């Protein structure tokens, strides 16, 4: 009598459904944002490792956003390390090719706190509003691009963005946060 053992939940289903579909977009984003960066495969693997480790600690509400932010932070760390380890090599990198400015550890910690507050504010929104705000404010989609991606009208994107900005502003005021989202 052959009995099947229950499948072990190692996160592989979650990873293949929620993370891997974003790899092509991630690679395209990396090549456009950091054209001089060459260790793309290494940094993506490191980001996958960190994402899986974080997933074992608890649910990740927006794996795509977490993945993109993790990759950006890893790339910036590698540029900082390159600057310190090989100062002569840094001259070969055009500073204009690095879109993000280098930040000090305290600025990085502050930015991470701001990202966490923004994620909390977005999570407090209704689902459609959260989707629109994430595409518009996190990924920088135009109204037309967001509408196409979500299969809704541009007018709906405009309305949901206005609602999202107001509700996020209310959220920031409620927790005493001063900066908020820019319009």
Q: Would you identify the CATH topology of the domain 117-183?
A: Arc Repressor Mutant, subunit A (1.10.10)
pLDDT at residue 107 in the model: 63
**69 HSE (CA, 13 A, CB side):** 18
- Work out the percent of the chain whose per-residue pLDDT is above 90: 11
Measured between alpha carbons, how far is 150 from 127 in angstroms, rounded to an integer? 12
| CA dist 158 → 62, 128, 133, 135, 155 (Å) | 22, 12, 10, 12, 5
**42 HSE (CA, 13 A, CB side):** 6
Q: Residue with structure tokens 């979500």? A: 150
Please tell me which residue, 12 or 180, carries the higher pLDDT value: 12
pTM: 0.45
Answer positive or negative: Cα dihedral of 49, 55, 60, 63.
positive
Measured between alpha carbons, how far is 40 from 27 in angstroms, rounded to an integer? 8
Please tell me which residue, 183 or 119, carries the higher pLDDT value: 119
Q: What is the pLDDT of residues 42-94, one digit of tens each?
A: 889 998 888 888 888 888 888 888 888 888 888 888 877 766 554 544 445 55
Q: How confident is the model at residue 28 (pLDDT cuts 50, 70, 90)?
A: confident
């Amino acid at each position: 009598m052959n009995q099947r053992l229950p499948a072990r939940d190692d996160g592989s289903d979650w990873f293949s459904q929620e993370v891997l579909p974003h790899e092509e977009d991630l690679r395209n984003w990396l090549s456009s944002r950091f054209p001089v960066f060459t260790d793309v495969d290494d940094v993506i693997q490191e980001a996958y490792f960190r994402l899986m480790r974080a997933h074992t600690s608890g649910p990740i509400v927006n794996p795509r956003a977490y993945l993109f932010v993790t990759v950006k932070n890893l790339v910036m760390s590698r540029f900082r390390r390159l600057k310190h380890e090989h100062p002569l090599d840094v001259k070969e990198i055009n500073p204009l090719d690095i879109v993000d400015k280098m930040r000090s550890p305290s600025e990085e910690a502050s930015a991470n706190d701001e990202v966490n507050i923004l994620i909390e504010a977005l999570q407090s929104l209704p689902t459609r509003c959260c989707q629109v705000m994430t595409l518009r404010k996190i990924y920088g989609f135009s109204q037309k691009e967001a509408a196409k991606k979500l299969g809704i009208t541009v007018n709906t994107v405009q309305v949901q963005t206005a609602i999202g900005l107001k509700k996020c502003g209310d959220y920031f005021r409620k927790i005493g946060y001063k900066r908020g989202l820019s319009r």
